[in-house]
Structure 1
Amino acid sequence: MNLKHFISRKTVNSVSRLNERFLCSHISQNNRNLSTVRVPFLASIGSLENDDFTLLKKPNPKPNLCFYRCLHSTQETKLISSSVEVKADSEDVEDENLNDFLSQFVWIMRRELSEAYPDCDKETVDGMLLIIVRKVVAEMGKGGLEQMLGSAESTPSQDFSEDLWKTVWEVSNSVLEDMEKARKKEKIKGFLQDEEVKKMCRFAGDIGIRGDMLRELRFKWAREEMEESEFYKDLHKLREEAQAQEQEDQANAEAQGEEGEDGVGMEETPKVVTLPKRHGKIKYKIYGLDLSDSKWAEVADKINESGEVMWPEEPKQITGKCKLVTEKILSLKEEDPSPLLAEWKELLQPSRVDWINLLDRLKEQNPQVYFKVAELVLSEISFQTNIRDYSKLIEAHSKKNRFEDAERILQKMNDNGILPDILTAAVLVHMYSKAGNLERAKEAFERLRSHGFQPDMKVYSSMIMAYVNANQPKSGEALMREMDSRDIKPSKKIYLALLRSFAQHGDISGTGRIATTMQFSGFQPTLESCTLLVEAYGQAGDPDQARSNFDYMINLGLKPDDRCTASMVAAYEKKNLLDKALNLLLQLEKDGFVPGAATFTVLVDWLGRLQLVDEAEQLLGKISEQGEAPPFNIQVSLCDMYARAGVEKKALQALGVLETKKEQLGPNEFERIIDGLIAGGFVQDARRLHGQMEAQGYAASEKLKVALMASETFGRKRPARR
């Protein structure tokens, strides 16, 4: 606290010049009247804007005895106490609290004055302090500490400046606060030894609470006991006052008489008694949980606000005729559920929760009818249809591969003016990817981006699979790079799908990129990935690189299976390297490998192209010996082989098998069969199969068209039957 802002340097100089004369006058003439002494210090404090002096008022001839003791309690106040005439009076009462207050006030004010005027000697500071203390004593004499601290701040002294009096008030207030803290500290020491506090401390020690935490809890419990004691003490005092007042009122009533001359009793005014203010808060504890905390009131309000969400409305109880109608709806087969739903609605007057309850039961007991009822319920006003109901039904249809029904629900959704949101768009991406509709999948995917949604792992996977199924692995690879840039690690399934797609197209560069990226992502080579690399190089017509990857797989400790070996043999077939294929099979058989249906199928196809019918039939017999049915694609090789060899019966037999499952044939298989039939002289059969090819939407190549035209013009004699 700095006093330089309200005590001028001129004041200090005046005090320094007159200090000796002022103090000598006080010391030598203790009993003189000081009303004629002019004190420039007081004048400067009272008004810093001019040099007017005011007369020091005559001091109280009988100051408080406690103030005399306060001044003698410290060495710093000896000079002040020697200048004050103190005489004990019979009316003076010793007050220890007031004594402590004045003692601390003098000590703090001396420090503040010394800091504000470091150039002043001790005698000058004593002169300043003497005048301040006398003013404080005079104010205390008017009404005690409460009077001084309560009203003195708002009523400045006429002798002191406003700033100085404010400083005196602040020091007084701080001293009183320190005294109050000391009083509470002394009082709480007694409650630390209270039996209840000791009991709780022993319990805390038994459960493992030690050190600082136990000390804090002990003081907390002592403070609570003190507040409770003060509350009941005030309550007891209030009761005694009420009893005394009641006795006084009763005595007054007896003196005045019980009734007047008119026989009407005197009305007694009821006295209102209020409880004293409680210092502490009332505690409500249940199982150790303090429910008196204000946060529990906030929790209760939130629970009431969200009650409908936390405790949803229960469905209505279904009884009587409504119950019979409900059972009929649950047992429906192929009938239209609309009439029964209308009757059920009229009987029950359902809300949304009743509709949901019915749909849940249908979904569990009759899934086929569930989709019909769920679609009808979407148009019910009482169902309160929202966008989530549409998206859930679309997703349910897509999981059952009911894509046309899902499209119909989506159209209804658009007709009602409800645009697909993020969740619905994600469902559509999964559905169209599964259905193989790339354009609609891309549309839904772009809708997600337009909403500002960053696709997650599941959406990316579905979109990449849509590109893979549409034979566009490069677009899928671009999405995979986008995932990696967003720190979304593609799954092993995505890598293998892209690797498989590149391998089927014989794209060596794409296959190598995916394989390298897969290893950098932490996925070690597996039998599946190595097999796909062998297939890729085989499709590209590079058997040497295929064999290099085949040997690398073996060096890794992976044993090639039937599919991997068949891929390696197919790579040799591209270049007609039969000797290398046979050497590979002999080497693998030494290591315990047994060829399976896949390897034999490739060999049968190879031998069939070479017109080695007997050898091909031997291998066909080995497939049967293994207890496996010949794969469907081997019929293409057999039909081509038998037709070119002129074996009519077996050729037509194989052709009959192919025609029964013609939807499984691709354009390459159709062309090979037709070309073989033409070469064998089965022109009518070739034309019939060409018509089936066009019916499935496949266009014949120019080479095949020329062969068909030549067969119509020149004809070709069927070779002798074998």
Structure 2
Amino acid sequence: ALQVYGSIQDQSTRVTVSICNSLLGCLVKNGRSDSTFKLYDEMIRGGLSPDLFTYSTLLSGCMKLKHGYAKAMELINELNSRGLQMDSVIYGTLLAICASHNYCEEAEAYFKKLKDEGHSPNLFHYSSLLNAYSVNSYYEKAELLMKDLRSSGLTPNKVILITLLKVYSKGGLFEKAKELLTELEASGFAQDEMAYCILIDALAKGGKIWEATMVFNEMKGKGVKSDGYAFSIMISALHRGGYREEAKKLAKEFEDQNATYDLVMLNTSLRAYCNTYDTESVMRMLKKMDELNISPDDITFNTLIRYFCKAKVYHLAYKTIVDMHTKGHQLNE
């Protein structure tokens, strides 16, 4: 897309708003936010007159920027200075930006302004504000928002209910979370592992490891397919709790049932095997990493180095350190 745009010679065509919007949207969708804003600045200097769709696209690019909220405010000020009025799409994106950068009060203010200007919030607006509440476990505000949602005639969807589950779980309201999980199951919204993982993770981090294990076993008993996320949470929780043999057993269970791994699951299993000095399984994981063409990260290298040193296999520890430095990683203190 950039090559095609670069080949356009006519300046008036280069700053046609539909062409610019398409290219900026392509860059945002591919995660190239920095390039998006640099190109936008060039387009402005070239004579582009942005429209609401331009700003909506650029705001979407703020979502994952480190200082995304500040950049979003610059764009909103620019939008206002050009005499444009924010629509419900712009408000929805702003709410999502506030949620992703933990600006809860600002999200509430934009939600109120949205309604004050005569717009009807949709499920995306509600889910974004609910997500903002989930960051700090504002469950009372979340429940009031749910009442407002239902009174507006909307029906909560899977995203809304799972976000509410996150609010309850992070807030330690485990009984409410379990009731909501039952509701998700009855609605057919718990056919993948995500809802279970939210509750399992919260229970484990709250020191309720055996309750987490019960939910995990219930999930498996209901035939819910795990891509490794639930296993990773449980193996890590068992390891933190000192249940290393149980962690190893669970890592082996996943290995027996799955041919594919991602880096997170591989590191989790590797740590479980290293902490029980299961050299055969450690080597099997390294072989699997090569077969699946997974590149090790800092966690992988440091896990292996600690293991080789404790096992007094110093030549392998040294070889791993050399390999680590060659690939641009640093040894932990």
> Quick one: structure 1 residues 613 and 421, their matched pair in 2 at CA, closer, same or farther if it must change by over 3 Å?
closer
Equivalent residue for 2:10, pick from 355, 372, 377: 377
- Matched to 2:19, the amino acid is L
Q: 2:248–2:269: 8 Å Cα contact kept in structure 1?
A: no
**Aligned: 1:391 with 2:17:** yes
**Aligned: 1:410 with 2:44:** no
**Aligned: 1:596 with 2:225:** yes
**Aligned: 1:430 with 2:65:** no
Match of 2:266 in 1: 635
Equivalent residue for 2:295, pick from 660, 674, 690: 660
Match of 1:616 in 2: 250
- Matched to 2:196, the amino acid is T
Match of 1:518 in 2: 149
**Aligned: 1:400 with 2:35:** no
**Aligned: 1:550 with 2:181:** yes
> Quick one: structure 1 residues 645 and 431, their matched pair in 2 at CA, closer, same or farther if it must change by over 3 Å?
same
Kindly state the Cα deviation for residue 586 of structure 1 after the two structures are TM-superposed.
6.2
Q: 1:468–1:476: 8 Å Cα contact kept in structure 2?
A: yes
TM-score for the superposition, normalised by structure 1: 0.36
> Quick one: structure 1 residues 617 and 441, their matched pair in 2 at CA, closer, same or farther if it must change by over 3 Å?
closer
Q: Percent identity?
A: 11
Match of 1:441 in 2: 72
- Matched to 1:560, the amino acid is A
The whole-number CA distance in structure 2 between the counterparts of 1:413 and 1:600 is 49
Residue pairs, 1:281-680, within 5 angstroms: 370-374=4-8, 376-378=9-11, 385=12, 389-401=15-27, 404=35, 407-408=38-39, 410-411=41-42, 413-414=44-45, 418=47, 421=49, 423=51, 426-434=53-61, 436-437=64-65, 438=68, 439-500=70-131, 502-503=133-134, 506-508=137-139, 511-512=142-143, 514-553=145-184, 560-561=190-191, 562-584=193-215, 593-597=222-226, 598-609=229-240, 610-611=243-244, 612-621=246-255, 623-624=257-258, 629-648=260-279, 650-651=281-282, 657=289, 660=295, 662=297, 670=299, 674=302, 678=306
> Quick one: structure 1 residues 499 and 517, their matched pair in 2 at CA, closer, same or farther if it must change by over 3 Å?
same
The whole-number CA distance in structure 2 between the counterparts of 1:432 and 1:605 is 36
Q: 2:172–2:202: 8 Å Cα contact kept in structure 1?
A: yes
- Matched to 1:595, the amino acid is V
The whole-number CA distance in structure 1 between the counterparts of 2:37 and 2:213 is 53
The whole-number CA distance in structure 2 between the counterparts of 1:511 and 1:410 is 39
Kindly state the Cα deviation for residue 456 of structure 1 after the two structures are TM-superposed.
0.8
Residue pairs, 1:3-22, within 5 angstroms: none
Q: 2:248–2:272: 8 Å Cα contact kept in structure 1?
A: no
Kindly state the Cα deviation for residue 395 of structure 1 after the two structures are TM-superposed.
1.0
- Matched to 1:489, the amino acid is S
> Quick one: structure 1 residues 679 and 422, their matched pair in 2 at CA, closer, same or farther if it must change by over 3 Å?
same
> Quick one: structure 1 residues 586 and 521, their matched pair in 2 at CA, closer, same or farther if it must change by over 3 Å?
same
How many equivalent pairs are there?
Answer: 307
The whole-number CA distance in structure 2 between the counterparts of 1:476 and 1:603 is 34
The whole-number CA distance in structure 2 between the counterparts of 1:687 and 1:544 is 50
Match of 1:324 in 2: none
Kindly state the Cα deviation for residue 479 of structure 1 after the two structures are TM-superposed.
1.6
Q: 1:394–1:406: 8 Å Cα contact kept in structure 2?
A: no
CA RMSD in angstroms, aligned pairs only: 4.2
Kindly state the Cα deviation for residue 676 of structure 1 after the two structures are TM-superposed.
8.7
Q: 1:640–1:677: 8 Å Cα contact kept in structure 2?
A: no
Gaps in structure 1 of 5+ consecutive residues: 1-366, 379-384, 709-722
The whole-number CA distance in structure 2 between the counterparts of 1:431 and 1:461 is 13
Kindly state the Cα deviation for residue 536 of structure 1 after the two structures are TM-superposed.
3.1
Kindly state the Cα deviation for residue 427 of structure 1 after the two structures are TM-superposed.
0.6
- Matched to 1:617, the amino acid is A
> Quick one: structure 1 residues 687 and 568, their matched pair in 2 at CA, closer, same or farther if it must change by over 3 Å?
farther
Kindly state the Cα deviation for residue 483 of structure 1 after the two structures are TM-superposed.
0.5
Q: 2:262–2:294: 8 Å Cα contact kept in structure 1?
A: no
> Quick one: structure 1 residues 426 and 552, their matched pair in 2 at CA, closer, same or farther if it must change by over 3 Å?
closer
- Matched to 1:660, the amino acid is S
Gaps in structure 2 of 5+ consecutive residues: 311-316
CA deviation map 1:144-203 (0-9, x unaligned) = xxxxxxxxxxxxxxxxxxxxxxxxxxxxxxxxxxxxxxxxxxxxxxxxxxxxxxxxxxxx
> Quick one: structure 1 residues 553 and 409, their matched pair in 2 at CA, closer, same or farther if it must change by over 3 Å?
closer
SS at match of 1:645: coil
CA deviation map 1:298-347 (0-9, x unaligned) = xxxxxxxxxxxxxxxxxxxxxxxxxxxxxxxxxxxxxxxxxxxxxxxxxx
Kindly state the Cα deviation for residue 457 of structure 1 after the two structures are TM-superposed.
1.5
Residue pairs, 1:42-121, within 5 angstroms: none
Match of 2:314 in 1: none
Kindly state the Cα deviation for residue 481 of structure 1 after the two structures are TM-superposed.
2.0
The whole-number CA distance in structure 2 between the counterparts of 1:687 and 1:516 is 59
> Quick one: structure 1 residues 651 and 633, their matched pair in 2 at CA, closer, same or farther if it must change by over 3 Å?
same
> Quick one: structure 1 residues 661 and 398, their matched pair in 2 at CA, closer, same or farther if it must change by over 3 Å?
farther
The whole-number CA distance in structure 1 between the counterparts of 2:149 and 2:53 is 26
SS at match of 1:400: helix
The whole-number CA distance in structure 2 between the counterparts of 1:649 and 1:534 is 40
Q: 1:542–1:571: 8 Å Cα contact kept in structure 2?
A: no
The whole-number CA distance in structure 1 between the counterparts of 2:326 and 2:136 is 28
The whole-number CA distance in structure 1 between the counterparts of 2:154 and 2:128 is 14
Match of 1:40 in 2: none
Tell which structure's C-alpha radius of gyration is larger: 1
- Matched to 1:636, the amino acid is N
CA deviation map 1:244-282 (0-9, x unaligned) = xxxxxxxxxxxxxxxxxxxxxxxxxxxxxxxxxxxxxxx
> Quick one: structure 1 residues 633 and 580, their matched pair in 2 at CA, closer, same or farther if it must change by over 3 Å?
same
- Matched to 2:194, the amino acid is R
Q: 1:464–1:494: 8 Å Cα contact kept in structure 2?
A: yes
- Matched to 2:54, the amino acid is V
Kindly state the Cα deviation for residue 444 of structure 1 after the two structures are TM-superposed.
1.7
> Quick one: structure 1 residues 527 and 429, their matched pair in 2 at CA, closer, same or farther if it must change by over 3 Å?
closer
CA deviation map 1:92-143 (0-9, x unaligned) = xxxxxxxxxxxxxxxxxxxxxxxxxxxxxxxxxxxxxxxxxxxxxxxxxxxx
Kindly state the Cα deviation for residue 532 of structure 1 after the two structures are TM-superposed.
2.5
- Matched to 1:594, the amino acid is G
SS at match of 2:7: helix
TM-score for the superposition, normalised by structure 2: 0.70
